[in-house]
């Protein structure tokens, strides 16, 4: 078997070593839940997580020992195999605590919840979050968000600084175009800088929620994990709506969701290099802010105009309408998925706008999911260029985003990404609907997982969950989360026969 893999041009020992290190790191992170269990004197959680940590560490150690004598830098093909298979390993072993502590009895439920966490999707199959999870379980569930949020930007380059060509390829494929301008040329230094910024923003978010908004320290840090990762897991059944009496929670969470949806490279440019003006001049940032502003105003007006005494909130008050509109708009565009209102009960126009916002997502280089504002800008500009060529075929127009000239091959890749995204969305929607589910539920479930959003419409709205789906649907939606978070190509290339030829 090993010889067969090597014959294909892959290095089984290098792949095994990296997967082993990842498993050991996963076990170490999982062990933090044992500390939480000890703080709250929860023997059951301590035993469950200890068993999961031990098993994960042993398997990871076995993989590492097999590949311990691997030499040379990882190739591009090796890196693709490692990063794709690592997500399956994370889903399987990261879900062990849920099985061992009795939260789930079915593998597909634990796999779904774990992938939803690490992919920062935030969709859940837990029907009673407050009653089903221990403090240690809550901690692990929210920590998976935080690890997956920044981990998906720097992925293996944060853990394995010596990835060589493979690491550079994965980093560039995750942050396309001019996103990495101004960052340090070395992958290791870049990953450290991004992690420090991510940690600092999480710390500030936690401090404000705890000291200003009155959350207890545990809930504050769990919600900070979900906010900066644009994940959406909450310790409460009602999500952020549990704190609706505290306006400060809404304001702080909305602000940090917006910050998490922006390009983290801009924070590096502004904070480390002192290039505040340069960061603020970023065209994608302004497009992102503009979409959020326009969508917020539009939804606010629709809520206010269509206000009814039966509404869950007093939308007849313009400030109340603005409060709930802004939170839901930012939560959906950044693909966080926190909720303070059930937007499935809003006017059709508002729901339709939010549905399309699910596709776009945040900025490239952020922790947000979706297609990304950068890609939308490129496609829109490419469309205008083609329209211009229809009446001036001899003209040559360079496609620019801000001052950056976008190469034709980048435009081609982005257009293909759009096409694949839509094709996968349609295919999975039809698959879900084939089990008898209505179109709106099927479509919104698919986009909620593919774009890493979490809540959808109808049966999967902001106050519902995915528990009613059968095993096959949950597994398919789990892989949708992986596809969306790895930006499609990294996973889909494994299904190309030529990839497996020497």
Rounded to an integer, what distance in angstroms lies between the CA atom of residue 15 and that of residue 32?
27
The pLDDT of residue 178 is above 70: no
The torsion region of residue 444 among left (phi > 0), alpha (psi -120 to 50) and beta comes to alpha
Rounded to an integer, what distance in angstroms lies between the CA atom of residue 75 and that of residue 169?
9
Angle 160-166-171 from CA coordinates, rounded to 5°: 75
**Please, which residues have CB within 8 angstroms of residue 285's CB and are 6 or more apart in sequence?**
262, 263, 266, 279, 363
Q: Are 63 and 115 in contact (CB under 8 A)?
A: no
Look at 6-20, 147-161, 358-372, 467-481 and tell me which has the smallest mean pLDDT: 147-161
Confidence band for 353, pLDDT divided at 50, 70 and 90: very high
> In this predicted model, which residue has the larger pLDDT, 430 or 22?
430
The pLDDT of residue 406 is above 90: no
Looking at residue 179, its pLDDT comes to 47
The answer to whether the pTM exceeds 0.85 is yes
Looking at residue 7, its pLDDT comes to 45
Phi, psi dihedral angles at 400 (to 5 degrees): -125, 145
Q: Are 491 and 484 in contact (CB under 8 A)?
A: no
Confidence band for 2, pLDDT divided at 50, 70 and 90: low
For residue range 85-96, list pLDDT tens digits in order: 889 999 999 999
The pLDDT of residue 231 is above 60: yes
Burial profile 337-346: b = 16 or more Cβ within 10 angstroms, e = fewer: bbbbbbbbeb
Cβ atoms within 10 Å of 489's Cβ, excluding its own: 14
Phi, psi dihedral angles at 404 (to 5 degrees): -85, 130
Rounded to an integer, what distance in angstroms lies between the CA atom of residue 262 and that of residue 255?
11
Virtual CA dihedral for 398, 402, 404, 405, nearest 10 degrees?
-10
Domain boundaries, the chain: 1-174+470-502, 189-408
The pLDDT of residue 176 is above 50: no
Cα 347 from chain centre:
28
The pLDDT of residue 152 is above 80: no
Query: How many CA atoms within 13 Å lie on the side-chain side of 432?
Result: 31
Burial profile 228-249: b = 16 or more Cβ within 10 angstroms, e = fewer: bbbbbbbbebebbbbbbebeeb
The 8-class DSSP code of residue 456 comes to -
What six digits make up the tokens of 313? Answer: 């909130």
The predicted model gives 158-164 an average pLDDT of 52
3-state helix, strand, coil in the chain (%, to 5): 70, 0, 30
Q: CA-CA distances (angstroms) from residue 406 to 277, 409, 492?
A: 22, 8, 24
Rounded to an integer, what distance in angstroms lies between the CA atom of residue 323 and that of residue 137?
31
> What separation, in Å, do the N-terminal and C-terminal C-alpha atoms of the chain show?
15
For residue range 486-495, list pLDDT tens digits in order: 888 888 888 8
Which residue, among 188, 114, 131, 194, has the nearest Cα to 156 in the 3D structure?
188
Percentage of the chain beyond pLDDT 70 is 90
Virtual CA dihedral for 453, 457, 460, 464, nearest 10 degrees?
100
For residue range 439-453, list pLDDT tens digits in order: 999 999 999 999 999
Look at 43-52, 108-117, 202-211, 303-312 and tell me which has the smallest mean pLDDT: 303-312
Looking at residue 391, its pLDDT comes to 78
Rounded to an integer, what distance in angstroms lies between the CA atom of residue 129 and that of residue 319?
31
Rounded to an integer, what distance in angstroms lies between the CA atom of residue 492 and that of residue 61?
29
Looking at residue 177, its pLDDT comes to 35
């Amino acid at each position: 078997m090993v010889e067969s893999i090597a014959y294909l041009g892959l290095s089984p020992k290098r792949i095994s070593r990296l997967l082993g290190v990842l498993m050991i790191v996963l076990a170490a992170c999982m062990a933090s839940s044992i500390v939480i269990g000890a703080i709250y004197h929860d023997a059951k959680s301590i035993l469950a997580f200890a068993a999961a940590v031990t098993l994960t560490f042993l398997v990871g150690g076995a993989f590492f020992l097999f590949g311990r004598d691997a030499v040379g830098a990882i190739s591009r093909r090796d890196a693709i195999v490692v990063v794709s298979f690592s997500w399956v390993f994370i889903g399987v072993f990261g879900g062990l605590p849920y099985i061992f502590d009795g939260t789930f009895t079915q593998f597909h439920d634990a796999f779904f919840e774990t992938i939803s966490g690490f992919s920062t999707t935030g969709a859940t199959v837990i029907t009673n979050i407050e009653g089903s999870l221990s403090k240690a379980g809550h901690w692990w569930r929210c920590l998976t968000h935080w690890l997956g949020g920044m981990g998906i930007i720097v992925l293996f380059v944060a853990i394995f600084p010596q990835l060589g060509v493979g690491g550079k390829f994965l980093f560039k494929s995750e942050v396309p175009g001019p996103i990495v301008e101004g960052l340090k040329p070395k992958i290791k230094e870049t990953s450290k800088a991004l992690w420090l910024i991510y940690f600092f923003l999480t710390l500030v978010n936690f401090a404000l929620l705890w000291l200003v908004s009155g959350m207890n320290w545990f809930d504050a840090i769990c919600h900070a994990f979900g906010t900066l990762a644009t994940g959406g897991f909450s310790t409460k059944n009602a999500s952020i709506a549990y704190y609706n009496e505290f306006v400060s929670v809404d304001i702080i969470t909305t602000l940090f969701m917006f910050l998490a949806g922006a390009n983290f490279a801009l924070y590096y440019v502004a904070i480390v290099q002192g290039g505040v003006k340069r960061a603020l001049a970023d065209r994608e940032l302004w497009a992102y802010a503009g979409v959020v502003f326009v969508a917020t105003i539009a939804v606010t007006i629709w809520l206010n105009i269509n206000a009814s005494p039966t509404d869950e909130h007093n939308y007849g008050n313009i400030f109340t309408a603005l409060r709930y509109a802004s939170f839901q708009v930012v939560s959906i565009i950044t693909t966080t998925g926190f909720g303070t209102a059930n937007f499935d009960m809003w006017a059709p126009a508002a729901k339709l706008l939010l549905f399309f916002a699910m596709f776009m997502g945040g900025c490239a280089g952020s922790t947000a999911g979706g297609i990304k504002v950068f890609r939308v800008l490129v496609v829109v500009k490419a469309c205008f260029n083609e329209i211009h060529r229809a009446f001036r075929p001899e003209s040559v127009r360079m496609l620019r985003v801000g001052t950056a000239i976008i190469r034709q091959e980048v435009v081609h890749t982005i257009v293909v990404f759009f096409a694949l995204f839509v094709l996968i969305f349609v295919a999975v929607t039809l698959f879900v609907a084939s089990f008898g589910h209505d179109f709106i539920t099927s479509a919104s479930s698919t986009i909620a997982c593919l774009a890493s959003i979490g809540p959808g419409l109808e049966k999967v709205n902001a106050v519902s969950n995915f528990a009613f789906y059968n095993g096959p649907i949950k597994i398919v939606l789990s892989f949708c989360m992986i596809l969306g978070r790895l930006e499609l190509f990294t996973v889909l290339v494994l299904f190309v026969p030529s990839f497996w030829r020497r």
